[in-house]
Amino acid sequence: MSLYLAPTAAIATAATTLPRLVAPPVVDVTTRLERGMAALPVPPAPPSHLVTANNRHVGAKHKAVVVMGATGTGKSRLAVDLALRFGGEVINSDKIQLHAGLDVATNKVTEEECAGVPHHLLGVAHPDAEFTADDFRREAFRAAGAITARGRLPIIAGGSNSYVEELVDGDRRAFRDRYDLCFLWVDVQRAVLHGYVARRVDDMCARGLVDEVAAAFDPRRTDYSRGIWRAIGAPELDAYLRWSGDDEDERARLLAAAIEDIKRNTGRLSCRQRAKIQRLAKLWRVRRVDATEVFRMRGGDAADEAWQRLVAAPCIDAVRSFLHNGGDTAAADDHDLPAEVPLFAPAPAAAVAV
């Protein structure tokens, strides 16, 4: 099964191909961003209503969209769908994907998956570098400013919700002072998501995950708590890659155990991410869409149709209303969720804002 559900065909056909803004690995993120912005070609003109929304009189707020969700729920697909529809550019908020390297293990979007949509803060930091939440807030703020200066829509998407929280509420809420925000949450029931994640790990292995990690493996490394080496897949494969014996059965056992650990740890990560989003949803006004039925279909035309109907269309409607009607949807006193959505339980119909 494919790791990534391609952008909705009806939306993707409207896009003009753009070079991907994924940089070669460098250490200096600021220099990378400055060079990257300077080299950008002029993108297609955004819709006129967006130009109006993001080029108002001095002192007025710009607009930005935040796409949230646990790992594997389709955040990247939705971000691309919205960018194609509304003239947007994506700012990556995944703390591991910020680092260069291990593209398969970190599941970075490919050039094809980007569908011509510029992506920022993707693979820009050195594999060993520390990139803190403060660093993300500063660089994401810079990227969003450059995007809105072109009259386009910043779309923040990624699984590191602590980074998103720092951007939105950190530094005396400077980002909220500059931007009205629309929050979208793509949710999938636990059992369905964990089944998909397990199949996705198998697909990643087929695409070369083990060989990729092996090529970057350094037997002197014992610390997997920094930079790209925190990526699920790197520490789990350590014992397998250190094995130097001749027993092929033992080698196969170590590999199978590592793959099971990757699946288990990815499932645990999705649980932590969803719990964090639930907490943030009580602070911000978050529009939740349930993509469970899409993932039950396991790909194909029926899944694409379900994505369009259950996820893309409601979110497009929400963003269209947000851009036209104005107002900050991040207010804590009027969110769309009930007081508590049970973990991994189907949301009541009233909780799925369309």
Binned at pLDDT 50, 70 and 90, residue 343 comes out as: very low
CATH architecture of 194-267: Orthogonal Bundle (1.10)
Which residues have CB under 8 Å from 86's CB, separation 6+?
Answer: 46, 47, 50, 153, 319, 320, 323
Comparing 328 with 40, which gets the higher pLDDT? Answer: 328
Which residues have CB under 8 Å from 271's CB, separation 6+?
Answer: 70, 190, 343
Check pLDDT > 60 for residue 274.
yes
Residue 65 and residue 58 in contact, taking contact as beta carbons nearer than 8 Å:
no
What's this model's pTM, rounded to 2 decimal places? 0.80
Check pLDDT > 60 for residue 256.
yes
The whole-angstrom separation of Cα 223 and Cα 185 is 33
- ∠ CA 26-76-112, nearest 5°, is 75
**Average pLDDT of 261-282?**
96
The whole-angstrom separation of Cα 283 and Cα 313 is 25
Q: Report H helices in the chain.
A: 9-12, 29-38, 48-53, 75-86, 111-114, 133-149, 161-169, 174-178, 190-206, 209-216, 238-242, 248-281, 292-296, 301-307, 313-325
According to the model, what pLDDT value does residue 47 have? 56
Q: Do domains 9-190+277-351 and 194-267 have the same CATH topology?
A: no
Residue 164 and residue 68 in contact, taking contact as beta carbons nearer than 8 Å:
yes
DSSP single-letter state for residue 182 = E
CATH architecture of 9-190+277-351: 3-Layer(aba) Sandwich (3.40)
According to the model, what pLDDT value does residue 216 have? 96
According to the model, what pLDDT value does residue 58 have? 53
Max Cα distance, the chain (Å): 71
According to the model, what pLDDT value does residue 105 have? 97
Check pLDDT > 60 for residue 313.
yes
Residue whose token pair is 């497009």: 316
Residue 141 and residue 174 in contact, taking contact as beta carbons nearer than 8 Å:
yes
Q: How far is the CA of 218 from the CAs of 8, 215, 221, 232, 309, in angstroms?
A: 41, 9, 5, 16, 47
Q: How do the domains of the chain map onto residue ranges?
A: 9-190+277-351, 194-267
Work out the mean pLDDT of the chain and round it to a whole number: 82
